[in-house]
Amino acid sequence: MKSLTKLFRYGPGPSSSHTIAPALAARHFCRLLKNRPIERVEVTLYDALAMTGKGHHTDDILRSTLAPYPSTIIFHPEIKTDHPLTMRFEAYQGNTVLEEKTYASLGGGEIYSNDDPEVNETDIYPFRSLNDIKAKMQEKGWTSLKDVALAYENETVEEELDTILKHMFDCVERGLMANGIIPANHNPALRWNRVAGQIEKSAENISDDDASREMRLTAYAYAVGESNASGEMIVTAPTCGSSGVLPAVLYESYHHDHMDWNTLRDSLYIAGIFGNLVKQNASIAGAIGGCQAEIGTASSMAAAALCYVHGLSLFQQEYAAECAMEHFLGLSCDPVDGYVMIPCIERNGMGALRAYDAYLYARYIAPIRKNQVSFDNVVSAMKLTGDSLASAYKETAEGGLAAILKKYENDSR
Ligand code: SF4
């Protein structure tokens, strides 16, 4: 498993696979071009990256990152690659290629390359599963997943997580204050007003405390989801598309349950380890595992974090993380027009609500009956399910809601 600081990245939306990762690849490629007579760069996007790359402004982010080199971005959705989010960079002088590299976007902004191995992030945790981690905890007498993280992360991790939490809360607040239209893409049917602030206001007028909490959680998740869809800076948790779930539950805990800052910051160790286990053993990318990999993982991380914040045991944190993921198994990734608005923004709201429900189950049901499904089990089930999902349901905008709404739009013309 890699550092938690590689899971929580601060970068531009709307999609970690389509914006943060390509920008990172472009920056790495540019370092190879220094002091060489490069006249232009060509980037070819393949497979799922090409299918939804235009919608997610991958071409814009590549052009701006590669500047001042002039660049051309080519889309080849019909060419299938081993990894569905593959991009090839070629740097030219005249018609001669002076440098070429291929990168894959792994989800959450991480990249991998066989021919530029310097970009590959290294594992710092020696564990394959939560069971491995629990065995180590027993051996060392550690009582919390935070102890595990502190043993393997470097000494700046606490400071970095502090900054991450600040970014998350800033993003919620910016999103609640923002008005106007989400500048999504070329499709006029997808030009929507931002509504997070209005949802928060309506929550204030709801007399039922539970309903009011649910609407606040929804408002906070929408605030981040709408910022992400507007291409603003967000924290991947674990991805851009699912970036609203974890901040929503932590923001609610801070402002309404009056949990202290350090406990909330420390809950990122817990959320991060659960997220990292999914990333290592299945996937956190919608293009690889469907939306169960994004919103399912985000909800699982948020549920475990909430348990930690409320002082529940590791056993209950695992219960909540497993429960949240279990009920998202099979969820497809079907963004309409290839853009992170429908169903993504609303799905962040539902992810936050399910995280809260999973925390309640862990709190009140876990002491009554032992969970029969472990977190490691549900991650394996998620991988199996993701591998069996047809590509139409993995961020290609060819299945589910994306296909139905496209058909509806075409029929009504
Ligand atoms: S449907 Fe889910 S996985 Fe797909 S882009 Fe939206 S949030 Fe991400």
pLDDT digits (tens, 9 = 90+) for 139-198: 999 999 999 999 999 999 999 999 999 999 999 999 999 999 998 666 777 778 999 999
Residue 248 bridge partners (DSSP): none
317 has a pLDDT exceeding 90: yes
What is d(CA 117, CA 104) in angstroms, rounded to the nearest whole number? 12
Q: What is the pLDDT of residues 169-183, one digit of tens each?
A: 999 999 999 999 998
What are the pLDDT digits (tens) for 281-315?
Answer: 999 999 999 999 999 999 999 999 999 999 999 99
pLDDT digits (tens, 9 = 90+) for 339-370: 899 999 999 999 999 999 999 999 999 999 98
Q: How far apart are CA 283 and CA 183, in angstroms?
A: 29
DSSP 122: P
User: Which residue, chain included where needed, has tokens 């939490």?
Assistant: 165
Give strand pairing partners of 43. Answer: 73, 89
Element (H, E) at 233: strand 233-235
d(CA 387, CA 289): 7
pLDDT tens sequence across 98-108: 999 999 999 89
What is the reported pLDDT for 338?
Answer: 84
- The CA 291 to ligand 1 mean position distance, Å, reads 5
pLDDT at 405: 86
Taking all residues of the chain, what is their mean pLDDT, rounded to a whole number? 95
Closest ligand 1 atom, residue 286 Cα? 3
Q: Which domains does the chain have, with CATH numbers?
A: 4-119 (3.30.1330.90), 130-411 (no CATH)
Burial of 170 (0-12, 13-18, 19+ CB in 10 A): middle
- From the list 331, 314, 306, the residue with the least C-alpha distance to 375 is 314
Residues 109, 115: Cα–Cα separation, whole Å: 19
Please tell me the residue having the least CA distance from ligand 1 atom 2: 291
How crowded is the C-beta side of 307, counted as CA atoms within 13 Å?
Answer: 35
Taking residues 403-413, report their average pLDDT.
73
- Is residue 412 predicted with pLDDT exceeding 70? no
Instruction: Report the range of poorest mean pLDDT among 84-88, 188-192, 227-231, 337-341.
Output: 188-192
Tokens representing 123 are 């594992």
- pLDDT on residue 354: 98
Task: Quote the longest CA-to-CA distance of the chain.
Answer: 72
Q: What percent of the chain has pLDDT over 90?
A: 90
Q: Alpha carbon 250 to chain centroid distance?
A: 16
Does the beta carbon of 242 lie inside 6 Å of ligand 1? Answer: yes
Residue nearest to atom 1 of ligand 1 (CA): 333
Nearest CA to ligand 1 atom 4: 333
Amino acid at 22: P
pLDDT for 234: 96
Helices vs. strands in the chain: H and E counts, helices first: 16, 7
Give which of 183, 282, 290 is closest to 242, Cα–Cα: 290
What average pLDDT does range 216-244 have in this prediction?
Answer: 97
Name the CA radius of gyration of the chain, rounded: 21
CA dist., res. 300 & res. 245, Å (int): 10
| Closest C-alpha to ligand 1, atom 6 | 344
In this model, does residue 6 exceed pLDDT 90?
A: yes
